[in-house]
Amino acid sequence: MASIRRTLSPAYHDRSYQNGAGFSSPSNKFLPNGSSKHFSSSHLPFLFNAVNIVYRKGWRRSFCRCLFFFVIGFVFGIAPFGYSDTDVRAKDFTFPELKPPHANLRFDDQIVTSVSLSVNTKLLEPKESTDIIEPLKQLIVVTPTYNRGFQAYFLNRLGQVLRLVKPPLVWIVVEEKAASHETAEILRKTGVMYRHVLCAFNSSSVKDPRVHQRNAALEHIERHKLDGIVFFADDDNVYTLELFESLRTISRFGTWPVAMLAQSKNKAILEGPVCNASQVIGWHTNDKSKRLRRFYADMSGFAFNSSILWDSKRWARPFSNPIRQLDTVKEGFQV
């Protein structure tokens, strides 16, 4: 059977065939320095296959296309398509000059030509005497107290009332025999400026021990020369704020009627002075015992200036004996 042989391609002229025909590879001419070494026939098919794959994939065509589009994009990027003024000058950034609107000012008085920066240290004198602000008089509230069931309640109630009074105010609380820590704690919590005084007099044989407690407060005021209006406020009484404000109007001595419960506790009676302006012309009384009393006033129905106790020259007192309440008189006559 006749065999048909096709002409071999130059790339495959060294391939061996099944019929035993083959060509020797003149690869020695590709070796450097004319080396006579030959590649083995097993390496040649691998090399030709790799070259064939590279040519088939067309990497050169892809590389040329990428290079072509890169050059076009670079040219379009640097080419100017419009006009831009690159001449930046300082006058382009100057702000417009702002001017306030014109105002036509007219001075009715004289024109000010100069300004003096001197300081006048003289105080302006008030035109009227009513413009002078006088400081408030100090109130000196004297409260005798003793240990009993409602002592804490009475002191707290009176302390809350005194807390609402405008200062200056001094609350003198007098205890007998010993000063208790409970009373001191109550006085601290009220927030009122106070003085805790102790009466060391043995008042067990006295009908009304509060007389000696008030005398201890009067002695404290005289010794320290406290200036103000003295008012005796028992802790078991009820007082209004208007009363304390009216106390500051007293210059020397003042008295007023006091409402109190009758012995039957079913009605209120009024006891105190009948006044005509600043003069006492009579007394309100419901006393049926016909006891002769010079002043029908309650202990909480009068107040006086504290300087009477320690400034005898100011009030022209003929004697310098201390003013104290007497414990030898009957109850109700100490006033």
| Sheet strand arrangement including 258-261 | 258-261, 268-276, 279-284
Could you tell me the sign of the dihedral formed by the alpha carbons of 141, 147, 150, 153, in that order?
Answer: positive
Bind-site residues for Mn(2+): 236
* φ/ψ bin of 181: left (φ > 0), alpha (ψ from -120 to 50), beta (otherwise): alpha
Burial of 168 (0-12, 13-18, 19+ CB in 10 A): middle
Single-letter code of the amino acid located at 182 = E
| Cα distance between residue 67 and residue 90, in whole Å | 45
| Cα distance between residue 268 and residue 286, in whole Å | 11
Bind-site residues: 236
